[in-house]
Structure 1
């Protein structure tokens, strides 16, 4: 810029000197003619000559001035246009340096400003995108209110969980949204106390842990509040299952232990001297001990299946061999109730599975079918295949299961008929073991039933292990 000012000063100084010289010549000639008494005609010639010289000097000065102005005004116009584009938000605008000639310092500076603004804009866009991605991917519902109490930010998880539309929420206060009462109360408490609040609420069948906190700026100024909701429905459900499990185990253990303890005390009190009575009591103690032993074994079995280190021994297995082996194991139970089995099995069906575990699954299903069927009935086992799966069906003609009971059938200790299950020696863990073993094979098991008609369990096993 200093070079620009100096050059302009020199140019205008030259123009001023030319005009001043022309004017000096004119005045000198004028006074010379007056002193020597030159005639009017000669004076006119001199005046014409001097006017011509002065006009030439004037036009030369105009040309020089226009050249100087054009040389230095054009770059300024280019820089001005670029600055106007930048001011409108076009950070890609640049001043063509080649058109500025040697006086390009201003253009370079403006271009550098544009580059800096462009980088800042890109950085802000990246940070905004990162924040948006973080908010949408956090897995928890997020709701933010400004200092005036209206909604500023809401993420997709919150919308999906509570059925809201972000476009309709923006600008509304928390009282106008229609939030669950528990969340409304928490937000109101945060606004009133400017303190962190956290509580658990229930909305229908879902449970949420709701966290509300004030948003404070760097200088301690109040910016609003933020509300985060975390779905803890599964955790609450697991806690309920754990409580039920502890209660059921305690109940199942208490019955045989109480019986063993009672009959033992009776024997010690003198009943042992009566041979028939002591034999009867000892038989009951043995029966309860066996039941306790089976229960503990099933608990250990289920616990082992659920461990992370549980492994299956995969090999090529014929489904027909598995079903026949299981049928032989339960043959005594079938004879006791005069029941028979019908096997409709394609002999060529093979799967990659753990043979011993599949036999255990079939034994549990067949035992369950026998225990809940009347005497002189039939159990049918069908096995067929698709392109990717082997399908095994176990159907009985038993008492059947009410439709409302089916979703809980594979839970631990869940019994449809508790008295009958206990009399049959069942622990309530057989179907839970079946479900876990089939899922360990990457398969699934389903159940269909009709009260008074019978029940059908269907196993879907992939032919190839994962």
Structure 2
């Protein structure tokens, strides 16, 4: 229908030409029948007049035809072109206003259709953008499969978690994208039963083992049409880890409380039953009971401190503190243990260094670190404490020459009740909570604590504290 006006005008010219030629032939035949005796010069003039008249009629008729076609047919070309552009998705095109009531009505109708299509297109684009943003913002991985089991939608979280791009996944079936076997079986079950399913799965990724809570459901359209299924994978690795930490904590607390309680109960029963008559043995039993009760008291106090810190009710009192005073007081507290193992401390620090901190809490930190250094070192070795100021903060390093720590144990070193050598820790009277408390106290000061160790060589704990109080 494009250029309909031009083609119709050309066709009209051809038809009109044929009609005039036929008319000319007919008139010529009549003239020939009735004008045989007329002078040839007059006949020639007649033929010239006839041809001129036919040409004039042709021109006038073509002019009239062109005007008629321009008024009634040429708008069809324009409307056809506008409709063609609308069909191709160009919704901003508009029809021009034409003369005539019919053309004006058609122009208004086409323009209204164009505006409606543009509004619908804008609305659909906005809805698609919102849906895309929503799917991308979901904190869980999402996959959508069509009725044939091929992937037709995947979000950014899935791509980042499983390190696969949407180009690799779109169009492939659920059996070809590397999902675990149990997830594939559940997806197949959802296709067969068209019912919702929820289950847990494990996936081994580059970052390690990942625990997933998988939810699958059929996708039903507005008219009840079955469109496929959607699979959502929640990463519950951290929840599983926290649950395991809770279980370990309960088990460790039970174990740590059981040992001193059993000892106290056993020795007290023997003394009450009068089985032991020897005064020296009775005193030995009482000393053991006293030692175990002290250990039980320390354990309870550490648990209360740790619980207070983790509840957020733990507060520190900042004031100017001289680190040299903190180190001196901490060394005095552990001096007896140092003498028992013939160990000494080497201090590498300036004469005075003031920071904004809680004096008593820092003493508690240093005593814990020094006690660990003494407990896990051989007699006659040296513990080095080095302090230096580094770009607005102070670094405190406590280095021993002890047994060291395996690299695999370093990530768990600050967990509650985690011990490298349980027997030696119990002999030293430790509760297994010291490093967890150290970590909480340092973090309360907006600082960090790290550890560097080599088996058989020694261990270094590094505390990084700000020189001035940070305002939050």
Q: TM-score per shorter chain, which class?
A: 0.7 to 0.9
**Deviation at residue 64 of structure 1 after TM alignment:** 6.1
Out of 249, 253, 268, the position equivalent to 1:249 is 253
Q: Within 5 Å, which residues of 2 pair with 1:231-246? A: 231-246=235-250
Q: Per the alignment, in what secondary structure is the counterpart of residue 144 of structure 1?
A: strand
Equivalent in the alignment of 2:182: 182
Is the aligned partner of 1:140 residue 2:144? no
Equivalent in the alignment of 2:371: 367
Is the aligned partner of 1:81 residue 2:81? yes
What whole-Å deviation, never above 9, does each CA across 1:411-433 have from its counterpart, x for those lacking one?
11111111111011000000111
State the TM-score, normalizing by the size of structure 2: 0.81
Q: Per the alignment, in what secondary structure is the counterpart of residue 430 of structure 2?
A: coil
Cα RMSD of the aligned pairs, angstroms, is 3.0
Q: Within 5 Å, which residues of 2 pair with 1:19-38? A: none
Q: Within 5 Å, which residues of 2 pair with 1:305-344? A: 305-344=309-348
Q: Within 5 Å, which residues of 2 pair with 1:247-396? A: 247-271=251-275, 273-347=277-351, 349-396=353-400
CA distance in 2, matches of 1:316, 1:104: 87
Q: Within 5 Å, which residues of 2 pair with 1:161-180? A: 161-180=161-180
CA distance in 1, matches of 2:96, 2:244: 73
Q: Within 5 Å, which residues of 2 pair with 1:68-147? A: 69-97=69-97, 104-147=104-147
Out of 394, 412, 419, the position equivalent to 2:416 is 412
Equivalent in the alignment of 1:8: none
CA distance in 2, matches of 1:447, 1:266: 46
CA distance in 2, matches of 1:55, 1:407: 105
Q: Within 5 Å, which residues of 2 pair with 1:199-238? A: 199-204=199-204, 205-238=209-242
**Deviation at residue 65 of structure 1 after TM alignment:** 6.1
CA distance in 1, matches of 2:88, 2:202: 51
CA distance in 1, matches of 2:107, 2:318: 75
CA distance in 2, matches of 1:406, 1:66: 94
Change (3 A) 1:108 1:354: farther
CA distance in 2, matches of 1:53, 1:203: 95
Moved more, 60-69 or 429-438: 60-69
Change (3 A) 1:75 1:351: farther
Moved more, 52-61 or 176-185: 52-61
State the TM-score, normalizing by the size of structure 1: 0.82
The answer on whether the counterparts of 1:345 and 1:384 sit within 8 Å (CA) in structure 2 is yes
CA distance in 1, matches of 2:353, 2:92: 69
**Deviation at residue 116 of structure 1 after TM alignment:** 1.3
Q: Within 5 Å, which residues of 2 pair with 1:57-76? A: 66-67=66-67, 69-76=69-76
What whole-Å deviation, never above 9, does each CA across 1:150-206 have from its counterpart, x for those lacking one?
111112222332333321222222222221111111111111222111111112322
Equivalent in the alignment of 1:160: 160
Q: Per the alignment, in what secondary structure is the counterpart of residue 341 of structure 1?
A: strand
Unaligned runs of 5+ in 1: 1-39, 41-51
What whole-Å deviation, never above 9, does each CA across 1:51-77 have from its counterpart, x for those lacking one?
x99999998887666445434544443
Change (3 A) 1:88 1:286: same
CA distance in 1, matches of 2:99, 2:438: 84
Unaligned runs of 5+ in 2: 1-37, 39-51
